[in-house]
């Protein structure tokens, strides 16, 4: 295999064994703990087992199962795993046995969120606990100070949960002290203001974590692998600092009870810090590795690192530089469970690279749905789509439209044995993704098309560009089935106008480089997604004064919150003025007229040079209507069916191709 980004051929360090305590990993590719929303009633489900089995089968060396609450007060979501009684053991036992069949190790996370309570169990707000009554910013939770008695219960819960997971056959345990959760809250002097033996000095603030570790060792045994997950700085003025994290790790390492440290960044407690829990594409690849190197310098045990490590060459480099001993590639494995085996067998160019869009992974989690991937919707749906089923009868299939949905449909249909030709009217496939990748901080989004096109070509799809399909061409080709994926186009609402001369452009024209007059630009954003926010930032970075008027409560309201927060931060940094709850009404020579969506009052912006409309899309469905009555099978997917997002287009492409 050719050298990749300056790395030697292959990935010798990434695929070398690593011994952690009494366990030897076959390689250093880790799927770190992440909530899948696949638990039910606090227990492991068959769906969760199938999800993790796919990653084990794909060659991961270690799977760290998502957090398990160790006390009733640890229920931070309605779908958290719990390890508070022995009913959890059978599910964990089946999960561990399944993962072990592939030579993959499995650890479990022991968890208490403290004040970081995301949602209620039944609609009523629970009592949140913390070392001190210090509120958080993100969830607006005012916690109750934990009593000594409750501290004792929670500490005992760590040990009891550890015993259960150990009894179920897990190879190791991980105490979650990262992201501003309860152990971190005790470590942090700005959150822990206690004056008893659990607060004050650094030694006292470390007491809770030491007692939790001792409880785990006492109940699960001295030979079980025990690790600590910690943020190397919470990226928050009031959060745990990198220096405080280093000091804690140094002291705990000297105690001799830990077998590894897992390093992350960020905090659940604040909007800015939370971005780093699952960093979007605006953050550089492997950006946490230099921080993990600082912790690795002060501990004697192996160190893992997580944070936008998407490709094997990035992991190999981090290990080669001594920044970590193993790399969590969690979203990379969500996007491509076969990443390890592809990298190890000389097929790294076939890896479906994660683009850190966050839409169907952490985005689904935040919405309360099982996680998936916009590029690989088979993820999270392994019980239905986990194994490719060949078509009973190969058919001739025409796919019309080379956006992400059409490419997915074509690739899967061809993989199942159908003879597939994909037609794209433009000179290149990609659809709206070709626009998205041109916006500030969104370049990586284009990787989705690179990945999908490569999959289609490897499957044998005949890709024809620069060809517009009509009914006559379909009749000439006479396929057995047609999949229409012709996409959408910008919606142009009717505007009140006094025959003004103000230039009015749609967002696509701006992204494509249409000339803009100098001066103040208003972007009217109905959809509240990446388009209006991205165009506003693009124009501001080009030197325009920009006002973004959004027909919603906030800019980017439909985006996953970490992506939205990063984009709003970039827009603010560029000087964009944002007006919420504002609907476009009209424009004249130099004035834009908006209407407050709640009060109905006018909002008038004067001295405007141009108006940019980001008002959603309408279907491009002329071909679909032309084919009405055609005797062959016709299926529609994506925006031509109803304008939505890449996720729905790709999922529908999978579903339609699966049914052919």
State the catalytic residues: 181
Query: How far, in Å, CA of 258 to CA of 245, rounded?
Result: 15
What tokens does 479 get? 């396929």
Lookup result for tokens 């990198």? 242
Are 83 and 110 a contacting pair, CB within 8 Å?
A: yes
Query: How far, in Å, CA of 467 to CA of 427, rounded?
Result: 8
What tokens does 242 get? 């990198």
Helix (H, G, I), strand (E, B) or coil at 230: strand
Neighbour count for residue 402 (Cβ, 10 Å): 28
DSSP annotation of 445:
G
Neighbour count for residue 545 (Cβ, 10 Å): 17
Q: Which residues contact 387 (CB under 8 A, 6 or more apart)?
A: none
Lookup result for tokens 């850190």? 356
Report residue 163: phi and psi, to 5°: -60, -45
599: exposed, middle or buried (C-beta count within 10 Å: 0-12, 13-18, 19+)?
exposed
273 forms beta bridges with none
Neighbour count for residue 239 (Cβ, 10 Å): 24
Neighbour count for residue 462 (Cβ, 10 Å): 14
Query: How far, in Å, CA of 401 to CA of 621, rounded?
Result: 11
Query: How far, in Å, CA of 480 to CA of 472, rounded?
Result: 15
Q: Report residue 473 CA to chain centroid gap.
A: 41
What tokens does 649 get? 């287009």
Lookup result for tokens 């060459």? 313
DSSP annotation of 638:
G
Query: How far, in Å, CA of 290 to CA of 317, rounded?
Result: 11
**What is the DSSP code string of 254-289?**
HHT--SEEEEE--BTTSHHHHTTTS--TTSPTTTTH
Neighbour count for residue 454 (Cβ, 10 Å): 16
What tokens does 144 get? 């109750």
Report residue 550: phi and psi, to 5°: -110, 135
| Helices and strands counted in the chain (H then E) | 23, 29
Helix (H, G, I), strand (E, B) or coil at 573: helix
Query: How far, in Å, CA of 98 to CA of 51, rounded?
Result: 11
HSE-CB for 269 with a 13 A CA cutoff: 30
Neighbour count for residue 133 (Cβ, 10 Å): 14
Query: How far, in Å, CA of 424 to CA of 431, rounded?
Result: 9
Are 615 and 551 a contacting pair, CB within 8 Å?
A: no
């Amino acid at each position: 295999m050719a050298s990749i980004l300056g790395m030697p051929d292959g990935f010798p360090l990434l695929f070398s064994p690593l011994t952690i305590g009494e366990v030897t990993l076959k390689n250093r590719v880790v799927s770190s703990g992440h909530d899948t929303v696949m638990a039910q009633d606090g227990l492991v489900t068959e769906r969760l087992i199938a999800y993790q089995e796919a990653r084990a089968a794909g060659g991961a060396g270690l799977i760290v199962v998502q957090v398990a609450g160790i006390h009733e007060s640890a229920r931070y979501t309605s779908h958290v795993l719990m390890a508070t009684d022995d009913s959890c053991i059978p599910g964990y036992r089946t999960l561990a046995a399944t993962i072990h069949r592939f030579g993959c190790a499995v650890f479990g996370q022991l968890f208490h969120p403290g004040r970081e309570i995301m949602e209620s169990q039944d609609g009523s707000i629970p009592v949140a606990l913390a070392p001190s009554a210090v509120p958080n910013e993100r969830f607006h939770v005012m916690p109750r100070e934990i009593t000594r008695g409750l501290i004792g219960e929670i500490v005992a819960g760590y040990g009891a949960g550890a015993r259960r997971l150990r009894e179920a056959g897990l190879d190791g345990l991980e105490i979650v002290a990262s992201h501003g959760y309860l152990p971190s809250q005790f470590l942090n002097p700005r959150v822990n203001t206690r004056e008893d033996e659990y607060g004050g000095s650094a030694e006292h603030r470390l007491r809770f974590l030491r007692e939790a570790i001792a409880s785990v060792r006492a109940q699960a045994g001295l030979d079980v692998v025990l690790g600590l997950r910690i943020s190397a700085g919470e990226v928050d003025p009031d959060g745990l600092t990198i220096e405080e994290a280093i000091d804690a790790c140094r002291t705990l390492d000297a105690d001799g009870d830990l077998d590894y440290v897992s390093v992350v960044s960020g905090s659940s407690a604040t909007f800015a810090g939370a971005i780093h829990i699952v960093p979007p594409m605006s953050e550089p690849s492997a950006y946490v590795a230099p921080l993990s190197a600082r912790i690795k310098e002060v501990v004697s045990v192996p160190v893992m690192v997580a944070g936008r490590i998407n490709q094997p060459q990035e992991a190999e480099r981090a290990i080669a530089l001594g920044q970590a001993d193993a790399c969590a590639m969690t979203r990379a494995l969500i996007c491509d469970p076969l990443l390890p085996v592809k990298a190890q067998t000389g097929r790294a160019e076939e890896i479906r690279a994660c683009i850190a869009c966050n839409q169907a992974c952490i985005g689904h989690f935040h919405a309360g749905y099982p996680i998936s991937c916009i590029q690989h919707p088979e993820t999270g749906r392994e019980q239905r789509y986990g194994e490719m089923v060949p078509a009973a009868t190969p058919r001739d299939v025409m796919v019309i439209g080379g956006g992400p949905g059409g490419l997915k449909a074509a690739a899967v249909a061809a993989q199942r044995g159908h003879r597939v030709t994909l037609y794209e009217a433009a000179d290149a496939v990609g659809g709206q993704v070709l626009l998205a990748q041109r916006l500030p901080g969104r370049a990586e989004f284009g990787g989705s098309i690179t990945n999908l096109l490569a999959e289609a070509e490897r499957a044998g799809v005949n890709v024809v560009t620069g060809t517009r399909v009509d009914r006559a061409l379909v009749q000439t080709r006479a396929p057995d089935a047609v999949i229409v994926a012709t996409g959408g186009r910008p919606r142009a609402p009717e505007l009140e106008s006094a025959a003004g001369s103000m230039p009015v452009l749609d967002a696509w024209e701006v992204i494509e480089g249409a000339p803009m007059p100098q001066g103040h630009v208003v972007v009217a954003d109905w959809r509240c997604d990446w388009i209006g926010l991205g165009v506003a930032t693009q124009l501001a970075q080009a030197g325009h004064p920009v006002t973004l008027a959004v027909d919603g409560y906030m800019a980017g309201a439909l985006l996953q919150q970490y992506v939205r927060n990063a984009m709003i931060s970039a827009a603010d940094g560029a000087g964009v003025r944002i007006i919420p709850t504002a609907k476009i009404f009209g424009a004249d020579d130099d004035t834009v007229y908006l209407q407050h969506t709640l009060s109905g009052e006018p909002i008038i912006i004067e001295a405007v040079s141009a108006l940019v409309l980001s008002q959603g899309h309408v279907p491009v469905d002329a071909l679909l209507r032309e084919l009405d009555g055609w005797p062959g099978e016709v299926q529609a997917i994506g925006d031509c069916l109803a304008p939505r997002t890449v996720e729905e287009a790709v999922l529908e492409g999978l579903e339609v191709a699966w049914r052919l």
